[in-house]
Chain A
Amino acid sequence: MAAVSAPSIPTGPDGGGAPDETELRSAGVVELAAALAAGRTTSVALLECHLAATDRLDPLIGAYLRRFDDEARAAAERLDAERRAGDVRSILHGIPIGMKDILATDEGPTTAQSLALDPAWGDGGDGPVVARLRAAGAIICGKTSTMEFAIGFPDPRLHRRDTSEAEAHKPFPLPRNPWDLGCWTGGSSSGTAAGVAAGLFPAGIGTDTAGSVRLPAGYCGVTGHKPTFGLVPKNGCVPLGLTYDHIGPLARTARDCAALLEVMAGPDPGDPTSVAGPAGGFLDGIDAGLAGVRIGVARSATVGDGTASPAVAACFEQAVADLRAAGAEVVDVTFPLWGELLEGCFSGLFAEAFAWHRPMLAERWADYGVDTRRGIAQGALISAADYVQIQRVREVGRQRIAELFGEVDLIATPTTGTTALRYDSAGGDREVRLRTLYTPPYNSLGLPAIALPMGLADGLPASLQLAGRWFEDALVLRAGAAYQDATTWHRMRPPTW
C-alpha cells in the first residue's frame, strides 16, 4: 500500500471505536482504507451500511440499474478473511464501488441502459479495468445508471419517474440528483455520481466522452477525474466516440481518485489506443501541495463570455483565490481554439458513434430512445472530409495547448457554467446549453482533467475543473488534493442522505 496521508480516519463518537454509519458513508476511499487497516471496521460492516442506505435511498435517486448484493457480500467476507490472514491486496481492499453499466462485469449483463444492445454483449466478463479493480480488492456492488449508450437524455418512454403502477413497466430508473430530487444528475455517469453523493458507495467508475465523468461529478458535488487519453484501457466498455472516450473514477476526493487510478492505469493489448504512461505513483507525491505550481485561469471562453451563471462565476473566483492562498502562482491565460475544440468534440464523437451504432440503428431504430437515435443519426451527416478536418483542428489545438503549457502547469475553469438542470425545465436552447459545458475541449485534446466541488451556487453544487499536460495526471490530482486540503466543499452532504 502506498504511503499517503489520511486526512481523518473515522474514529466514531467515542474517538476511537467503530465508526458509525454516517461516518462510514461520509468517508472517502483513503480514509476507509485506513479504518480497515486499523481494524476499526470490516469490509462486511462497510458493505452492509452502504447496502442499507441503498435500500432506503435508491428508490428515490435511481443510482442502480442492477445490484450485486449476494456477490458483494461473498466478496466482502472473503476479503475480510484475507485481511485477517495478513493478506492485503491494495488500498482498495474491501472498498465497495459502483460500476457504470457500460462496463462489462462477471456478475451479469451489460445494458448500456438501452433496449437495443444485444444482451450477449459483455459475455466475456470483466474488462481490464474491472478486472484490475477486482484483483485489487474492490467490491463491485452493482451496475449504475447512465444515459442510453452514454449519450441520450432520459426518455419519458423508458424511465420510471416514480414508484407508481403506471410507471412500473418502464425498464430504467430516472436518475435524480441527491441535492434536489427535481434535478437531473447530469450525465452520462449519472448513477455513479448520484451514488457517491448520497453515500451509497464511496467511489465508482464512469466514462467521459465529452464530460460524462466531470459533469455529473460537478452537478452532484463529488470529485471526478478524466485521465489522459490512453492511460486507462477501454476494452470491455461499450464505445461511444472511439478517440474521445475515457474511463475514469468518481469519488469524494482527489486522493480517492488517485487511489483508483493507481489500479486502473496501464496498457492492455485489447485496446490499441492504450499506452504505457507513468507506472502508478499517483498517490506518492499527492501531498506535495501547490508551491511552485503555475495555474492559468481561462476566463475568456467560460466565466468571461457570459455562459456562466453569476453564482457559479462567484464560486469560481473564490476557488481561484483559494488556489492562490494555497500557494499556487495564478495567471490569466487564453485557451486556444476553445469553441472549435468544443464543437469539434460533439461533431467528431457523433461521427464515431454512428460508425459503431450503424448496424443497430438499421435493425433496431425503434428500440433506441428518441434523443439517442436522433443524436447518433446526425453522425451520418458528417462527411469523411468533415471528419478529417475535425482531426486537423485537434492537431492544431494540440500544438497550441502545448505552447500554453510551456507557460503554465495547469489550467483552471469551472467544470460547467450552470448547476444541475431541473427536469421540469425545457433546458433552453440546446446550442446555448452546450456552450455552458466546459469539458469537451479536454476530450478533443486528450488532456487529464479533474472536477472538484467548489461551493454551492443557488443551493446546488458548483465545480472547479483543473487540467494538466498529457500524462501529468499526478500533478492534476495533487493540485486537487491541495485545493481540498484548503477547502471543505468535498465534505458537503446532500439533503437526500
Chain B
Amino acid sequence: MDDAQTTDTARAVVAAMLAAAGVVPPADEVAEIAAALPVLHRRMARQYAVACGDAAPVIVRWPR
C-alpha cells in the first residue's frame, strides 16, 4: 500500500475488523486508524523476516 494514500478498500477492511470486535468508530476516525496500516505492514514485515529466518525458534516460551 502506498504511504501517501489509504484506499477506500483499506478503510472498509479496517472498519470491518473493528466492527467484528464490536467497535464502531466514526468514519473519520476509521480513516485515521487505517492510515496506520502502511507503518504496521512495514513493521510486521521486519518481524516476519526474523521470525521466519533460520534463527527463529521452533517453540516460543511465554515471556517471563
Contacts and interface: CB of A to CB of B under 8 A. Distances in A.
Nearest to A347: B43
B50 A358 contact: no
Given A377-B25, A380-B23, A396 B51 contact: yes
Contacts of A390: 47, 51
14 contacts: A339-B46, A347-B40, A347-B47, A358-B21, A362-B22, A365-B25, A377-B18, A377-B29, A377-B33, A378-B33, A380-B17, A380-B21, A388-B60, A395-B61
A239 interface: no
Given A362-B23, A380-B18, 8 more contacts: A243-B63, A359-B22, A373-B29, A374-B29, A381-B17, A381-B37, A393-B51, A395-B61
B23 A358 contact: yes
B51 A365 contact: no
Interface string B35-63: 01101100110111011110111001111
Given A389-B51, A393-B50, A396-B55, A381 B39 contact: no
B2 to A, nearest CB: 16
Contacts of A381: 14, 17, 33, 36-37, 40
Contacts of B22: 358-359, 362
A340 interface: yes
Contacts of A374: 29, 32-33
Contacts of A400: 55
B33 A343 contact: no
B31 to A, nearest CB: 10
Interface string A83-118: 000000000000000000000000000000000000
A390 B18 CA distance: 21
Contacts of B51: 388-390, 392-393, 396
B56 A396 contact: yes
A456 interface: no
Interface residues of A, number: 41
Interface of A: 229-230, 243, 273, 275, 337, 339-340, 343-344, 346-347, 354, 358-359, 361-362, 365, 370, 373-374, 377-378, 380-382, 386, 388-396, 398-400, 431, 446
A427 B29 CA distance: 21
Contact of B40 (A373, A378, A388): A378
A390 B40 CA distance: 12
Contacts of B23: 358, 361-362, 365, 377, 380
Given A243-B63, A377-B23, A380-B21, A344 B29 contact: no
B64 A343 contact: no
A394 B63 contact: yes
Given A337-B50, A378-B36, A396-B57, A386 B63 contact: no
B43 to A, nearest CB: 4
Contacts of B43: 343-344, 346-347
Contact of B60 (A273, A343, A361, A391): A391
**When A and B form their complex, which 4 residue pairs have the shortest distance between CB atoms, in order from nearest?**
A362-B22, A392-B51, A389-B51, A343-B43
